[in-house]
Structure 1
């Protein structure tokens, strides 16, 4: 290493994602060195773009690994279980991440389970630009970036009832989320909704809406994100009947 390279190394030490690596081991998710490099690149680009566009309030390396990457990946064992597959799942499911923001959970799930096909949906132009940049930067295949609102594309035949799996980490009330998500789910497909500590009460309030929209609640699973103490739940809803044409309402 030349003196110039040494100075660069000191100013910009290499990024290591130890928490991500150990967390994936705890979750039973295989993670190759190439996939780790993709996560590092994702983190670097997130920081660079965040300086201009304020994509996320979470930028510290440890928090990005836990509150963004591992929090996104905690659902993968559930996905594999629903499919009756080992980790990572290898079926080419058609998935959509609603309100994806900076690509969470869609991009982390794509990186560790490349067989999944993803549509990344968000309503904000700056986030769409970042997402398209990341698709190109990480050379992701079978990933479509769409700008729009769930209540709009849910009435569009191109998207309605077109997905095996729908995900959302949004903070909207569950009764609102299910109206946006279930119209997008195919019959026998399912929705995975990431929620926090208030989930049991929200779950009870949303049960009637879930049934009206053609869903059947399979389960509400406590999700232990490695290195996080905050309580998490993932609500799994199976689509068993077509959603009435009235929904989603604008």
Structure 2
């Protein structure tokens, strides 16, 4: 039996997003795969349909209030994507994006590849997965993905100063890093000002808001990449988490 997406449709209207029948079908399949695989591997503690719609699907596209994802040539990397939030959802709503999903756990990568296949997400712009730690693929010596992307995104991964060291090395000069944070986002950005500067970033926007038709507080932080990241960063795996800049 199919789920009722009326509340999701209503929420998305607040972001001026109109959803197609194909996208509803993709989200339905995504939800069912999420539940099925969640019994085998830990993907999310949120499993009720309405909660997944609000707290995962709608939240994942909330950044569109502050950034235009409709640029057809954009390359986006989702660092620490987990179950695919926000990367998979952004790809569903903006199919021409070229998306890379990076995660450190192979089981989650296997799940994401299944989602990509079942939802036929490779029809327009590309989408691919990368298994590994964030520090490894942006290393100044061997990082094949260093400064290759227009946009890096991360949602619910780490404190902001640590996130900056994970994400900013992947972003081209002139691109940006978009962080999805909770109600402590402004406080975290203040703590991370030194890290942002050291990694070649500049604060563009820090915006608090509530998810549509709710009292759930969120913060979107956008950091412009204004200088190339020093070859000193990122530091070796584990260091950004243990000893933030």
| TM-score normalized with structure 1 length | 0.89
Partner of 2:88: 107
Q: Deviations over 1:92-131 (max 9, x none)?
A: 2010001100000001111011111100010111100000
User: For residues 213 and 129 of structure 2, what CA distance do their matches in structure 1 show?
Assistant: 31
Partner of 2:216: 230
Partner of 1:44: 32
Q: Which runs of 5+ in 2 are unaligned?
A: 237-245
Q: Deviations over 1:172-209 (max 9, x none)?
A: 11111101110000010001001111122211111111
Q: Which runs of 5+ in 1 are unaligned?
A: 1-12, 81-87
Structure 1 runs of 4+ with >4 Å offset: none
| TM-score normalized with structure 2 length | 0.91
Structure 1 window deviating more from structure 2 (14-23 vs 64-73): it is 14-23
Q: Deviations over 1:24-71 (max 9, x none)?
A: 111111211111111111101111111111211110001000010001
Partner of 2:13: 25
Aligned mate of 1:179, from 152, 165, 168: 165
User: For residues 62 and 199 of structure 1, what CA distance do their matches in structure 2 show?
Assistant: 25
For the pair 1:152 / 2:136, whether they are aligned, the reply is yes
Aligned partners of 1:72 and 1:104 also within 8 Å: yes
Partner of 1:199: 185
CA RMSD of aligned residues (A): 1.2
Structure having the higher Rg: 1
